[in-house]
Amino acid sequence: MLTSPNNRMTCRPEKSLFILGEWVPPFAQDLPLVISGCRYDITCYDDTEFNTCGVPFCPTLEKAAFKRRAEYLAGRHCAGNALAQVGLVNQTVATGPHRCPIWPSRAKGSISHTSDIAVAAVTREPVINGVGIDIEAVVPDAMAEELARLVLTGDEHHLLASTDDSKGLFFSSIFSIKESFFKAVFPLVQGYFGFDAVEVTMLDPKTQRFQLRVQQDLHPGLVKGDCHQGNFLCHEGMVCSLFLLRERWCSAPRYGTA
Ligand SMILES: CC(C)(COP(=O)(O)OP(=O)(O)OC[C@H]1O[C@@H](n2cnc3c(N)ncnc32)[C@H](O)[C@@H]1OP(=O)(O)O)[C@@H](O)C(=O)NCCC(=O)NCCS
């Protein structure tokens, strides 16, 4: 059971100067998951904020720059809030191999951050085999064509060329969708793959829906030709994408859950 937005159980830090307040992308309310997000101020970060926010300091951060510590903390703060909203209070999310977050066994989730915003999405729905969330600042139109060469497939280039929308927004949407797909399926695939492994075939900002097609056999449960849907939106200059892997079957991932 998911709590409604009006009935939120959140772990608010008592005296954090670092966490500024909520920032939640306005996805349709009927999605089977909880999203928690915040704005944070890196200039107010220091290591004591981990204690203040009730987030364990991750050993992999020992040699990390402040920026990395801050984004990690903000992401884990959102993850803790999202877990609390699905009834898993005082849970932590560790970091596994390849930076894959390790969620409590009864939940699946995903984290994303920019330099001042973090979001986490969590579900306990058993039919969902993987969750991916991603936020990206929309790139300027002038950068989109250059970056498109690295990220888009041939057919996606045609979509980009034919769009009446801003090229920067369109490119950023496809990029973010691919990142959200990657995060959702990584615990299943257990390996990296390129941007050509999936192709975005439809984007509709009005319905917040996208479709993609898998272009390579990534896993026995995720094969070439499979089509999936997800959600995306643009909000305050950011693109946010959400991909829920709901398909036929799913073997237990070796990592990704505790
Ligand atoms: C890992 C990756 C997706 C992160 O995306 P990003 O835009 O750089 O950063 P974001 O802030 O959105 O996301 C970072 C979070 O993603 C999560 N993440 C990182 N690696 C992950 C993995 N292997 N599996 C699942 N989630 C992962 C982590 O929670 C991380 O935050 P944390 O380290 O603070 O816990 C990206 O850097 C990457 O390596 N992509 C692989 C290539 C790819 O996307 N191919 C496209 C396939 S279609």
Q: Which residue has the higher pLDDT, 79 or 221?
A: 79
The boundaries of every CATH 3.90.470.20 domain in the chain are 134-245
> DSSP letters of the chain?
----GGG------SS-SSEEEE------TTSSSEEEEEEE-GGG--THHHHHHT-PPPGGGTT--HHHHHHHHHHHHHHHHHHHHTT-TT---EE-GGG-EEB-TT-EEEEEE-SSEEEEEEE--TT--EEEEEEEEPPPHHHHHHHHHHH--HHHHHHHHH-SS-HHHHHHHHHHHHHHHHHHHHHHH-S---GGGEEEEEEETTTTEEEEEE-S--BTTB-TT-EEEEEEEEETTEEEEEEEE--S--PPPSSSB-
The Å distance, Cα 97 to ligand 1 centre, comes to 12
Closest C-alpha residue for ligand 1 atom 9: 112
- pTM, whole model, 2 decimals? 0.92
Closest C-alpha residue for ligand 1 atom 42: 194
Cβ of 183 closer than 6 Å to ligand 1, yes or no, is yes
Task: Give the number of the atom of ligand 1 that is nearest the alpha carbon of residue 72.
Answer: 34
The Å distance, Cα 100 to ligand 1 centre, comes to 8
Cβ of 232 closer than 6 Å to ligand 1, yes or no, is no
pLDDT band at 248 (very low <50, low <70, confident <90, very high): low
pLDDT computed for residue 70 by the predictor: 97
Q: Please state which architecture CATH assigns to domain 14-132.
A: Alpha-Beta Complex (3.90)
The Å distance, Cα 183 to ligand 1 centre, comes to 6
CATH T-level topology, domain 134-245: Ribosomal Protein L22; Chain A (3.90.470)
The Å distance, Cα 10 to ligand 1 centre, comes to 25
Cβ of 167 closer than 6 Å to ligand 1, yes or no, is no
Per-residue pLDDT of 226-236, as tens digits, reads 999 999 999 99
Task: Give the number of the atom of ligand 1 that is nearest the alpha carbon of residue 71.
Answer: 34
pLDDT band at 52 (very low <50, low <70, confident <90, very high): very high
Task: Give the number of the atom of ligand 1 that is nearest the alpha carbon of residue 186.
Answer: 24
The Å distance, Cα 236 to ligand 1 centre, comes to 22
pLDDT computed for residue 254 by the predictor: 38
Cβ of 186 closer than 6 Å to ligand 1, yes or no, is yes
